[in-house]
Amino acid sequence: MRMPHDLKSYVQKHPDNQMAWYLLGKDYERSGQTAKANYCFERSGGVYEAFEHSKAPAQVWIEYQHKLIQLEQQRKKQQFKRRSAAIMLWLLLLGIVPSAMAPDAMNIDVVTEPADESSPEQGLESIDYTDEQGAAHESEADEAGPEPPVFTGIPLINDEITDEAAGRMMNQLRHTEATIITLGLEQENEFLLWGTSPARPLMYQFRSNGEGEVTSQSLLPEWCKCTSDDLKGLSASAIEWGQKEEQAIALRSAITAYKQLNGVYPERIEQLMKPFPNNHIGGVSSPMRELYPEMLGYIQSLAGDYRDSESDPTIGERSSEDGPLLPSFEDTYGGEPYMKEALSIIVNKETHRLTLLSGSIVLRNYEVGLGGNKTPEGDFVISDKVVNPNGRSDGEFGTRGMQLSDTDYAIHGTNDPGSIGLDESLGCIRMHQEDVEELFALVPPGTQVTIKDSANTPTQIIAPEQAGERFQPELVPGQTNPDKIYHWLN
């Protein structure tokens, strides 16, 4: 059973109540959240020791239920007192101020108490406004219509938001008027697992009035006071947001790689879509074409390379603290892409995993086939990107190949999928067809590839199970190499 909202709120507002801490800890203990339970038990002082040594669990449970009833009664009394105080305030104001400042012409903000920062939940509950003023504000918001959702990622450990992450998010929002939807990204070591759309659950909706007050509402189905249609709508928007992020990081990587190779930026996306060997981008979609001017201006602005960035309409307003804001990323917290570093690859020989990264964000984690000691270790870059490297789609290197630093080693497909996960190659990195085609579409030539005997990368497979969830923009034509049939360590 999950702890009811009232007891959590009570603990946050009354951090000195040792019995409340004890009861909260017992519920965490029953749900298997040991760390939070121990934290609550420590805050409960002598109550924990007294109950654990002298009372049976059944008696504790009875008292627990009784305490919940008391808390509900106290909450209702507090609501009544607040309403009474508000009425008295209005009466007082009506008696001593002129008619021009009557209640219907005034705007008095009701600010709730901040949550105790030592609480394990850090205020992770929505605050209910029960006074008349709050109801009026809610009515006005309803008439204005819902705001479009703004998304960001937030770290999870064991499927739960950490106190540190929640506290950091709330502190960031205290002086910003915003409504943010957080998507959970599981944290493993130093990595955040981006994964696929279903693996990024809706976690919380944070609201800030810009004056220090931040509230939150759980979006988990068992907690959310919302309809299934509301959640479906948010989930659909979150999927679209995730797809745009993947398109943006693919463009950013290609633009950056082009600049490093040629010394200038590609003015048009068509410059990235040349036939082999100038195929800097493997595939393109209509949304990527629309996004390209903004991404180009954004990258130039960050590098200080834009000639007239202040007058460029694609960049939007700038802030010395927040960086440039992009119109296409108005649905992203901060107004710019969530993934900010060009793509790179780590191959872990110990776990047979190829990890695709943007900084510390794991975009994909594929299972691969290797050659044991025959697979070299070290740093490489993707030099050639070739469609059908054997001259046909069913060759031993499959439909895609990416040569490493002009050597005899490559990342490629295979006509022997049973070798994936094993050390049966002569040194190359073998991938399933759907995986290598997706990787080919995402990474440009010049992408950094690091091969290690052992790495601290995730072990779980992170790749879309459904074909429709894959990153599969329309293949750019002319990416075969008519002058060569590849024989990587054949």
Domain boundaries of the chain, sorted by first residue: 1-108, 121-226, 234-329, 343-475
Task: Give CA–CA dist 130/85, Å, rounded.
Answer: 13
Mean pLDDT of 446-472: 93
DSSP 8-state assignment for residue 256: H
Poorest-pLDDT segment among 142-156, 312-326, 379-393, 414-428: 312-326
The mean pLDDT value of the chain amounts to: 79
Q: Average of pLDDT values for 96-125?
A: 36
Residue 192: what are its φ and ψ, rounded to 5°? -105, 130
> Per the confidence metrics, is the pTM higher than 0.75?
no
pLDDT given at position 76? 60
Residue 103 and residue 89 in contact, taking contact as beta carbons nearer than 8 Å: no
Percent above pLDDT 70 for the chain = 73
Answer for the pair 296, 317: CB distance below 8 angstroms, yes or no. no
Q: How confident is the model at residue 120 (pLDDT cuts 50, 70, 90)?
A: very low
Once rounded to an integer, what is the mean pLDDT over residues 337-341?
Answer: 95
Q: Is the pLDDT of residue 70 over 70?
A: no
* pLDDT at residue number 95: 52
pLDDT at residue 320, rounded to an integer: 37
Query: Is 55 in a helix, a strand, or coil?
Result: coil
End-to-end Cα, the chain, rounded Å: 59
Is pLDDT larger for residue 82 or for residue 20? 20
Percentage of the residues of the chain whose pLDDT score is greater than 90: 48
112 pLDDT more than 50:
no
pLDDT in tens, 186-224: 999 999 999 877 778 998 898 888 887 888 888 988 888
Q: Are 161 and 125 in contact (CB under 8 A)?
A: no
- CATH number at 343-475: 2.40.440.10
Q: Which residues are catalytic?
A: 412, 428
Q: Indicate if the pLDDT at residue 165 is higher than 70.
A: yes
Q: Is the pLDDT of residue 110 over 60?
A: no
Query: What contacts 129, CB < 8 A, 6 or more positions away?
Result: 110, 112, 135, 137, 138
Q: How confident is the model at residue 89 (pLDDT cuts 50, 70, 90)?
A: low
Q: Mean pLDDT over residues 254-263, rounded?
A: 96
**pLDDT score of 329 more than 80:** yes
Residue 321 scores a pLDDT above 90? no
pLDDT of 241 > 80? The answer is: yes
Mean pLDDT value of segment 111-131: 36
pLDDT in tens, 6-44: 566 677 777 778 888 788 888 878 777 776 777 777 777
Residue 49 pLDDT: 66
Between 177 and 372, name the one with better pLDDT.
372
Beta bridge partners of 161: 156
- pLDDT category at 300 given cuts 50, 70, 90 is very high
Per-residue model confidence (pLDDT) at position 147:
64
pLDDT of 172 strictly over 50: yes
pLDDT score of 14: 75
Q: Yes or no: say if 474 and 284 are a contact pair by the CB < 8 Å rule.
A: yes
* Residue 279 neighbours by CB under 8 Å, 6+ apart: 273, 385, 445, 476, 478, 479
Provide the pLDDT for residue 101.
36
Distance in angstroms (rounded) separating the CA atoms of residues 386 and 486: 9
pLDDT tens, residue by residue, 419-452: 999 999 999 999 999 999 999 999 999 999 999 9
